[in-house]
Structure 1
Amino acid sequence: MGSDRTMSGTGSDAPNDGIRQRLYEIMSADELSPASKQAEALDLGCEYLGVQNGHIERVDEAADTHEVVASVGGPAALFPVGETLDRATTYCRYTMNDDSPVATVDAAEDGWAEDPAYEEHGLACYLGAPIFVRGEPYGTVCFVDETARGDSFEAGEKAFVELLARLLGRELAATSYETELTDAHRRRSALVGAASNAILLVDTDTAEITDFNDAAATLTGYDDADLEGMTVFELHPAPGRDQYRRLLENLAATGETTSTLPDGSQLELRTADGGRIPIEMSAGAVALSDGRYLQAIIRDISERQERERELDRKRELFAYSQRLASVGGWEYDCRTDELYWTDEVRRIHGLGEEYAPTAEDALSFYHPEDRPRVETAVDRATEEGEPFDLELRIVTADDDVRWVRVQGRPAREDGDTVRLRGTFQDITERKERERTLRLRTRAMDEAGVGISIADASEPNTPLVYVNDAFTDITGYDREAALGANCRFLQGPETKETAVDVIRMAIEHEETRTTELLNHRADGTPFWNELTVTPVTDSTGETSHFIGIQRDVTSRKRRERLIGVLNRVLRHNLRNDMGVVAGLGETIATAADGEIADHAEVVAETARDLVDVSEKAKTAETALRDERAPRSFDIVEAVEDTVAELREAHPEATIRCELPDEQQAVATDRLEMVLVELVENAIDAGGSRVTVAVVPPDDDERRVTIEVRDDGPGLPTMEARVLRQASESPVDHASSFGLWMVNWLVTGMGGEVDVAAEDGTTVTVALQQERRDDTPRGGAVTEAALGDDPNSWDW
């Protein structure tokens, strides 16, 4: 064809300075949106080239189509925004294939009369250039007219279109990058929202709490509505608030982490119920657009202090500092070759305030691999007035490699660049966060549990992400799962009650866990332990739900098998041993001498086995319906239990040593523990039993219940069972009962100890206040499992 696809021609080799400067001003205007920049740049091109229409086409190579994403000029039917073009009917296909501008001023005369593009659109005049985004082809910018042009496009006009294409590519790359960074920030915000540490944002002028995460509300015990608007000092005990004020000012200035006040006393948080929690806090000043704030990270260190006391109060204080991103300014005088840096730029370079840089010095700090890029950018800014925005590495005076963002804009007078001005920002931490976000994304992809993300904004809450483990567990590939609601895993045997748990989690936007019967892609059923957690966006609205799936089929099968075997064995044992006991008693009554003695042993052994069976039944009932520990007045519970024991055992003296009231963390099974310990003492020969509640002293936060008797002392084997729950096998009722005591107490987050001197004293230590690590319903501690693996079958 006769079209001109080269940059040769008459006239100047570049657009005139006025047009070029206007184009740079449009594309660098911060107040314009990307769409506005495109529209104004296209208007400028139509005006400069004298054509009807200017538009931008985006290429879809897979579909072999071009989409019009921006268009100016007329007529209205000529390339409206949103129109999809068959690639074979566009001149732009030549531009994309050649990776260079294509021009024709009279298509028919140039031999294009039979070209599908000419036949479809009737365009006589065309000038287009390819657009590349991050080195990849994006599309074209085109200027067209239905009327032929009298003269050829000059080299300067072609250079204008080529420059516009390059600037559009940079703008599109920047927009794409910001979108990716926003998405990455939202993912990170989801993780921060689920963080266990409390995070507060405090107005430095009013000390009011303006923002906080869920962990902060959980730690303080305040509702969101109450916490927002409180001053930070209301979260600390009234005495010594001046010290808290001094501490916060110091932390804002230093960014340090501390668990002590300036006078060395413990830093504490006052909760909504009036309690006090020892905390560790770090803080840093944050300058936002609407003012200065203090960001504080607060950790509950109750558990750590407990460990420190157990390790002879040896503690190690961890500190860290968070450095906020800083921005400096620079200016280069092109006429005098003088360079000026602000103090912040010097600091980023690791230099003192007295350092006076030259242009040559400044370039020498850039990493050798990045230096050519900044040199080229400065040359273009100086010669062509083209602004630049680069992210590069520097090597500081301390040989520290850091990432910086360098922006430069030319100031021109009479068509010449007289100075360059710009900013210099240390973005090392941002680069590290980006690397970390990529790592976390990879961790999700490769996690050993199934992870799915559903879009909460869509009516059907479709899945938008599943990891490899999800596809392995369910047998569904990503194509089948994405876009579908996760209910496709359900089947006719899936219980509605389990589904209701997930439904309520979504409806109330809260984290919940349940076990439900799901089905794999091949129809195979499996038990799925599913946890659903909401994720909020920057406005606080729930945007997604994260699902964690674990295949617990093997565990459920073992639980059912053990349950069946347990019921069968206990039923047969109780019935058959009842018969044996009855026969033994009959023989003992009818016989004399050694035979009667043997028969009595048989009857007593049978009764003991029946007792073991009953104890096992009691334990199974208790353990099947485990309750979450809670704080209540245990004195009342002890009084009621002792009253019932006195009535059941009039032969023994049962005393109480009780305070008026004592709060402790336990469950309703505390009554079962007391009954077992007291009856065991009486059965062992104790005639006087004392039940005492001992309040905690100043150093300890444990409430103890002591059961003391005057009997012969607990045998060593049974003492071991009580302390460790590790007897194997548990071969008689008393040992089994003591094993159950250990299990129930440790399930409350407590401990059991025994002293067998001058009788027996069993001590049950309970927590005075609820801790985060207190076992919840269904939890089993290591102590309850015991040291002997053979005992775990129980």
Structure 2
Amino acid sequence: MFDELVDNGAWSPTDSTASATVLVIGDAPEWVATVSSTLESTPEPLTVETEADVDSALERLRADVIDCLLCRVDSFDRTQTALDRSADELRPPPIVCWGTADEPGSVLENGAADVIDPSLADDRARVVARRIRTVAERYRAARSATTYWSIFEHLPDAAVVHDQSGSFLEVNREVSTLLGYDEATLYDLSVDDLETTFDAEALESMVVELEPGESKTVEGRNERADGTEIPVRVSFRRIDDGTGPRVIASLRDLSELKARERDLERSLDLLEQTEEIANAGGWELDVRSDSLRLTDGTRHILGLEADATPTIDDVLMKYHPSDRSRLDEAVSAAIQTGVGFEEMARLETTDGPVRQLRLRGEAYQRNGETVRLRGAIWDVTDWMEAQSELNQREAHLSQAQSVANIGSWSKDLQSDEISWSDEVYAIYGLERDDETIDHQRFLSLVHPEDRQRVDREWERAKRGAPYDVEHRIVTTDNETKWVRQKAELSFADGEPVSAIGVVQDITDRKTYERRLEAQNEHLEILNRIVRHDVRNRMNVIAGYAALLEERSDEPTPLAETIRSVADELVSISERIRTANQLLSDETEVIPLPVDLLVEDALDEVTETHDELEYDCDLDDGLWIWGSEAIGLALENVLENAIEHNDASTPRIEVTADAAPDDDVVILEVADNGPGVPPTERELLTGDRQRSQLEHSSGLGLWLVDWIVSSVDGSLSIDTDDGDGTAITFAFPAAAPTDVTLPCER
């Protein structure tokens, strides 16, 4: 049973740090020196001794403690035979063969402890040294152990011996440590009591199926004394010692390994998801074998099946013909120089447009030779399209800012750093440089008389107030400009953190506003003269004309004409006053009843024109959107129809109805007069400029059109010479209010 334990690798010395002594046997000094220096250069605890032949080695074994012999494969038989002859007087250590054997298995069967391929010595010296040390340590432990129990108890893994039914015959102390049971309790249990993955029948079947000396390894779960379960790996061998089948088994706790496997699975899952989200993948090219490994993400990008095994040439053929040679040269250069590469290439697809890929590779070398390339691949088609669109938008924005003379800026309030667009630099007359734009530099460009106000408005904006300020700046050329600054600030936890704003050059607008203000001031003075001085003087003229008529016994046509003209000029003055009010006051649009508007307008004109005949036909419940000036417009139209009517009896027809399809109300005023003169109609059709008013009645129609247009209405004229005129209003329809005022006739 001792040999079974040793051969199964279930035992190792308790002191794994002690140096093992290796005796290298060989008659080739160069080979002996190379092997000795290779083993001694590793960090493994080995002491290397040398002898030129087997006889010298036997003498050394009689005098010194040697844990392992190392010889070439072609001298193994000679060395083994010499050791066998001396087995009675000394216990020979194990032999490790160095070299390539045609049949390594036969060498091991003939007694060699291990066969080491010499090609491993160049780049895996420590692995070779560790294998030799392992063989040496096994022998040293076996040599130091005198009984079966010294071996069994010192196994690093939990070890048990049980019969075919699973009852424990022997257990070492590691079993108690692993499962939490004391030794006496374990002897009362069986494998079936602990194993939760396999039942008793399955366990016994595994043992029966094994041939004597045959081993098997399975993974299961064992229940501990505290009721918890742990994953275990069980390696067991069947032995027959004359008393029936026995099983010796070692148990290893896989909890940490399983945890690492779960972490690995999660990492692989995360990698797959990351590749899918990023539209990316990874690849590795083994330069020596010319084999290519691809991740699932790379296969997806290249359109490869999951089980496909493409070569590097197969992959290159998937790229655009114009890009293949460049990529091939990049890979070849990376292999030759060990310097990585980064390239852009187009990928041809069978079911869609050409895709844009970004490729990156890194070279990994060993002893100055590139052994593999590893890299990543990204499908950047969507990103490049978005970048192209962004570049276009930025170009359009820059052009639009230049055309509109508007620039944009952003500010990080934590760093006090301001970023300007190109147009802002142009407005301020500055060139882009490395100097940071901050609040103080910005204020230095503000006109000295405006700095305090601008800074105050900015501080208010940082407390949540709107930031919209007009101020002057002084450029580097000492030019004064007017700009408008407007910004929105972002806050976090009540504190301002950033701002985005625009700045517009409004110098031309300010110049125009100043000129307009001056013009308005002049017009206001002129208006006061017209309203006050002309009106007063016309009243004086009218008074004197009336006095002349009173003092004359005969009719005085001249005085009557003077008075009539004076009254007309006073009327014109009133219309100018009305126009001035419309210019000055903001129009308030409200719902108005059509019947009440018409009734009030008719009442006004009939007070001074009692000879008027009229007919009113209005649909019920008509309301329009209008202003208080609408009544004045109706009065002007009615008065115009009466005053310029050459019929013996002026007659007016007023109609109103709704046009549901257009959501408007149509109001028409028709008369039996001679019609509106062409020059006055042209004022409304746009064929004549309003500055070309040639008659006082033209001013009236102009005011009517102005009033109607101010409430989004329209006005049209239909006239036939000698057959009357029809003036049609179209007003936006409004919903009736709670109180409807009827038109009484």
**Common fold: TM-score over 0.5:** no
What TM-score do the two structures reach when normalised by structure 2?
A: 0.44
Question: Relative to total residues, which structure has the larger helix share, 1 or 2?
Answer: 2
Larger Rg: 2
